[in-house]
Structure 1
Amino acid sequence: MSASHSDSSSSFHSRPTDWRPSRCGWTWLETVSTPGGATGAAVLSARAAGSPGALFLIAPFAQNRCASLAAKGLLASTTLAAQADEALDKLLAYGWEPESALLHLSHYALATPAIAMTYSNSYGRFSVADNLCGFSFGAVDAAGTPIAAPAAAIATIFGTGNGIPPTGAIQIINNDSVGGPRRDALSISPSTNLPDYNIDGAICQRELWTGANRDRLRDSLRVRFGVAQVQKTADLNRKPAIIVHGRNDTLVPVNFSSRPYYARNQQVEGRASRLSYIEVTNAQHFDAFLPIAGFDTRYVPLHVYFIRAVDAMYAHLANGAPLPPSQVVRTTPRGGTSPAPALTPANVPAWSLNPPAADRITFDGTTLTIPD
């Protein structure tokens, strides 16, 4: 099976496992299956220049990540600029959309390592006390050294935390850092003796999927068995459903989740399917980031379309109103400079009950076509 944009220059072909997504799990899978954690290097690419959230980056550490990837034979380029571009090209080759390039930086700082760690633990049913790949959770001081968590922070984290570090007072700790445990982002990798965003931990997480390290084979089998247990058939048994997804989503990319799920559903249910897939341009994963400078001018809120989908489903179930055909909804960013101008209906247009051919998402039995 393959999937493509209507513009053949941006077509992609799926890997077999892409067509049985396990909700957010594919973010984890693609994170750990990208050689050596290329994201930490790709953020330096000139094609990612102007990324919102640039203050999250410790540039020398990202430069060290490029050097460490090259030293381990995972990048072939010899200059920093070329290494960063090569790392980004690897992400694109694995299936991230070009529209995600500007978001790798903020997502790597706030989400990618946490997803790789927590999903590895979850799929393999590891306790955080097992310190899989040398990772643990804890509070740290300003230098990144573990300390006892402040009682006041722990008392409120149930209500203010999201369960995925960094949250509240809790950070990811690299237990294997040179000199002793330290906050992961500030740690020093034993194999390189460099602060390189923990290249050793990233490679270990990759090996959980590949099984390439015989010393970790048992852990790898546990993780892969857990992934197999949550894979889905995409058979909705003719139940109506609407998937709404932002094309710029970098945490749960469309190519690893909604697109393959929709295609698989069309294969399984065929004409009996009542699933609609709405792909929204200029929308990404974290609407909570939209007040941040650079996010506000570039991206529209996806939650608007979630509310519309709920309303459409209610009208369908209560009154028999038709569900929208699968389509790309073309939005318009607010632009300007931060703070961005007020959002207007023109920025977030409604979907169509009769979309033009240039916006329709179609499936012919083997190929899913997504208009550019």
Structure 2
Amino acid sequence: MATRFESVRVSEHRGSDDLLTAGLGLAGLRAMTPPVFADATAPTPAELRRRAVWANWRGIADLAPGGGYGELYGSVTAVPGREFHGLARVPGATQPHRVAVQVPDAFDQTARCIVVAPASGSRGVLGGIAVAAAWALPKGCAVAYTDKGAGTDYFDLDAGLGVRVDGTVGTPADGLAFVPEPATGSGIAVKHAHSGDNPEADWGRHVKQAAEFALQSLGDAFPDAAPFAFDNTTVIAVGISNGGGAVLRAAEEDGSDWLDAVVAGAPNITVAGARPLYDYTTEAALLMPCALPVLGIPPLPTAAAHCAALADAGLVDGGTLESRQRSAYDTLRASGWTDEALRAGSISVGFDLWRAVAVTYASAYGRHGVGGHPCGYSFSVLAADGTPRPAADAERAAWFSDASGIPPGAGVGIVGPAVDPAAPLAGLQCLRALWTGQGADADRVRAGVEAVRAGLPRAGLPVTVVHGLDDGLIPSAFSSAPYVAAARAAGRDNVHHWQVRNVQHFDAFLGLPAYGAHYLPLLPYVYEALDRTWAHLRHGDPMPADAVITTTPRGAGNALEATHLAMPR
């Protein structure tokens, strides 16, 4: 059955408002403050789109001077064209997912190509713009996007307001991109957590539907050249992080004949026998704050108390702070964490990202609605003292453009269960027990995790997996390495693997001097893998050989150079 797309809208982007940077150019994308709204309480769809483009570029790419973007690799050349937006729904889903397509005016009708870019993380529909559009649009390819059933369509339960397809705020009667069930209560409903659909289980279907929307949009854009179909259009899927996992799910043997190639960067992917995200995230949330000083990383102010609470709960051994730190570290190492992943994972400790991921994914995997979180967590705008308060009009108006899809951020925070002084880690222990414990809630979460385990890619499909060996959020040892091993064991000899030293998960953090000095960006390797894939599809060139890429950190105060990247040739 053909996918039915709803609430389709088309906009034109030329002159001072192009597809790739919304007219901001590299200087505008580098600006530390976002594009302003003329009326902070009622931004226009064009203002929201421009700000979403700014936020999604900055959330993924290292745009800082000296980082090499737009000079050594990547493009911010203005690309005029049209943009198509709509909603799609996979069979059986409660909520729709967003799809979008960028069609450049210079689309090559004689060598038709679509690059499908599911959002990284839980970002909004344009969350893959820095990954795909910078490579594809200048080549005359269309780019298709999906938010994968997550995204920034928050719903204000207190006010009964959510996000329309154009990004503006409205009521359910206006037609919204997400309305929770139930749509009552207090605080903020987040689509990834509260859709009731476990969207990760449908990532591959989301990617295919985005490609189908691209074919429909191309037919609308160029009716004289129709029909546009999978058998006359080259389709490449590319993504990083959750987007990387999504394109690998789209590559699975059952029903991926529409897809010509896949490039996956730092993919969140789980195969049988490997540790899933929820397992190692909840472990990290508990143990990593205590373990990091063993590696010489300065502890958080609360680390000593955290270690003491772990000891009281019987989760680490030792009667001194140092022995407890060593116990936490040894446990993490024994479960597969490398020192490189632990060092890079420290930034997720500092940003409270482990808890944020665990809270959201526990709700998603268990298919819990508003107010149903098994550990008592929820989301709300917070007052200065950390207590929930209603959202202001200006805060609500910016969620579509500013949010990352997982609180905290964009003014929305996590509301945890009341802290018992006698059990300060109770919330984290509850999240961990949903993986390790017993009971109906744990069974629901584990069933949700089982539903997202990946299958094998289609035999013969060109697949390139690129992963940083210092990744501290989605360690290669838990994700891409076992995926590639499983594919190879099953005879999938067109799966290729680049493992890159001194590369962690977040290119966007490389603008911080300490990170930029020590780590290199992932995006240049993703672009290079796309180049190699394109040459293979168009000219029959060989796919890249496997490589462990030995890079050279650029050091403090130095601009990135090609020699630092050591790109395989």
CA shift, 1:266, in A, is 0.7
2:146 aligned with 1:146, yes or no? no
Which residue number in structure 2 is paired with residue 49 of structure 1? 297
Relative distance call for 1:284 and 1:234 in structure 2 (3 A) is same
Pick one of 359, 366, 381 that aligns with 1:117.
359
Matched, 1:163 2:408: no
Amino acid at match of 1:305: Y
Distance 2:480 2:289 in 1: 25
Query: For residues 358-369 of structure 1, what are the structure 2 equivalents within 5 Å?
Result: none
TM-score, normalised via structure 2 length: 0.50
Partner of 2:561: 344
Does the Cα contact within 8 Å between 2:532 and 2:543 map onto a contact in 1?
A: yes
1:229 aligns with 2:451: yes
Aligned to 2:430: 204
Say whether the 8 Å CA contact 1:246–1:282 is kept in structure 2. yes
Q: 1:285 maps to what in 2?
A: 505
Query: What are the equivalent positions in structure 2 for 1:73-112 lying under 5 Å apart?
Result: 73-110=314-351, 111-112=353-354
Q: Which amino acid aligns with 2:282?
A: V
Conservation of the 8 A alpha-carbon contact between 1:48 and 1:102: no
Q: Distance in 1 between matches of 2:554 and 2:370?
A: 42
In the alignment, the residues of structure 2 paired with residue 48 and residue 157 of structure 1 have an alpha-carbon distance, to the nearest angstrom, of 38
Instruction: Measure the CA separation in 2 of the matches of 1:109 and 1:27.
Output: 19
Shift of 1:234: 2.6
Q: Specify which of 72, 75, 81 is matched with residue 313 of structure 2.
A: 72
Does the 8 Å contact 1:20/1:234 carry over to 2? no
Residues 271-282 of structure 1 mapped to structure 2, 5 A cutoff: 272-282=492-502
- Aligned 1:171-190 pairs, distance under 5 A: 171-174=413-416, 176-177=417-418, 188-190=419-421
Matched, 1:30 2:30: no
Task: Quote the residue 2:525 is aligned against.
Answer: 305
Partner Cα separation in structure 1 for residue 517 and residue 420 of structure 2:
37
TM-score (norm 1): 0.76
State the Cα distance separating 1:67 from its structure 2 match.
0.4
If asked which structure has higher relative contact order (CA below 8 Å, sep 6+), I would say: 1
Amino acid aligned to 1:261: Y
Within 1, Cα distance between the matches of 2:437 and 2:324? 26
Structure 2 SS opposite 1:172: strand
SS of aligned partner of 1:133: coil
The alignment status of 1:333 with 2:559, answered yes or no, reads no
Aligned match of 1:317: 537
Contact map agreement 2:289 2:306 (CA 8 A) in 1: yes
Q: How many equivalent pairs are there?
A: 300
Distance 2:414 2:560 in 1: 36
Between Structure 1 and Structure 2, which shows a larger proportion of helix residues? 1
Q: 2: distance between equivalents of 1:235 and 1:190?
A: 49
The answer (yes or no) to whether the contact 2:270–2:453 under 8 Å persists in 1 is: no
**What letter matches 1:74 in structure 2?**
L
Amino acid at match of 1:208: L
Paired with 1:222 and 1:41, the residues of 2 have a C-alpha distance of 29
2:511 is paired with a residue whose SS is: coil
* SS of aligned partner of 1:347: helix
Deviation, 1:235, is 3.4
Q: Residue 174 of structure 2 corresponds to which residue in structure 1? A: none
Q: CA deviation at 1:18?
A: 6.7
**Equivalent residue, structure 2, for 1:40:** 289
Answer yes or no: is the 8 Å Cα contact 1:21–1:231 preserved in 2.
no
Shift of 1:326: 1.4
Q: Shift in Å at residue 72 of structure 1?
A: 1.1
Matches of 2:374 and 2:289, distance apart in 1: 20
Does the CA contact (< 8 Å) of 2:345 and 2:471 recur in 1?
Answer: no
Gap change, CA 1:48 and 1:150, over 3 Å in 2: farther
Q: 2:303 aligns with which of 56, 62, 66?
A: 62
Q: 2:514 aligns with which of 281, 289, 294?
A: 294
* 1:21–1:261 Cα contact (<8 Å) kept: no
SS in 2 for 1:242: strand
Distance, in Å, in 1 between the alignment partners of 2:369 and 2:499 is 37
Q: Distance in 2 between matches of 1:293 and 1:145?
A: 34
The residue identity in structure 2 corresponding to 1:124 is G
Deviation, 1:123, is 1.1
Deviation at 1:19, TM superposition (A): 4.1
| C-alpha distance in structure 2 between counterparts of 1:289 and 1:64, whole Å | 28
Larger CA deviation: 288-297 vs 142-151: 142-151
Q: State the one-letter code of the partner of 2:452.
A: V
Q: In structure 2, which of residues 458, 461, 470 is the aligned counterpart of residue 239 of structure 1?
A: 461
What letter matches 1:70 in structure 2?
A: A
Cα shift readout 1:35-73 (whole Å, capped 9, x = no counterpart) = x81122223x231426xxx7xx3x1x2211100110111
Listed as ranges, the gaps of 5+ residues in structure 1 are: 1-16, 178-187, 353-372
SS in 2 for 1:138: strand
Within the alignment, does 1:251 sit opposite 2:473 as a pair? Answer: yes
Q: Deviations over 1:178-217 (max 9, x none)?
A: xxxxxxxxxx34543x5xxxx11111111111224xxxx1
The structure-2 alpha-carbon separation of the partners of 1:237 and 1:21, relative to structure 1 and needing over 3 Å to count, comes to farther
Q: What residue number does 1:359 align with?
A: none
Tell me if structure 1 keeps the 8 A contact 2:270–2:454.
no
Q: In 1, are the aligned partners of 2:341 and 2:473 still within 8 Å (CA)?
A: no
**Structure 2 counterpart SS, 1:278:** strand
**Residues 46 and 89 from structure 1, CA distance in 2 versus in 1: closer, same or farther, beyond 3 angstroms?**
same
User: Distance in 1 between the 2:273 and 2:380 partners?
Assistant: 31
Structure 2 runs not aligned, ≥5 long: 1-268
- The answer (yes or no) to whether the contact 1:280–1:329 under 8 Å persists in 2 is yes
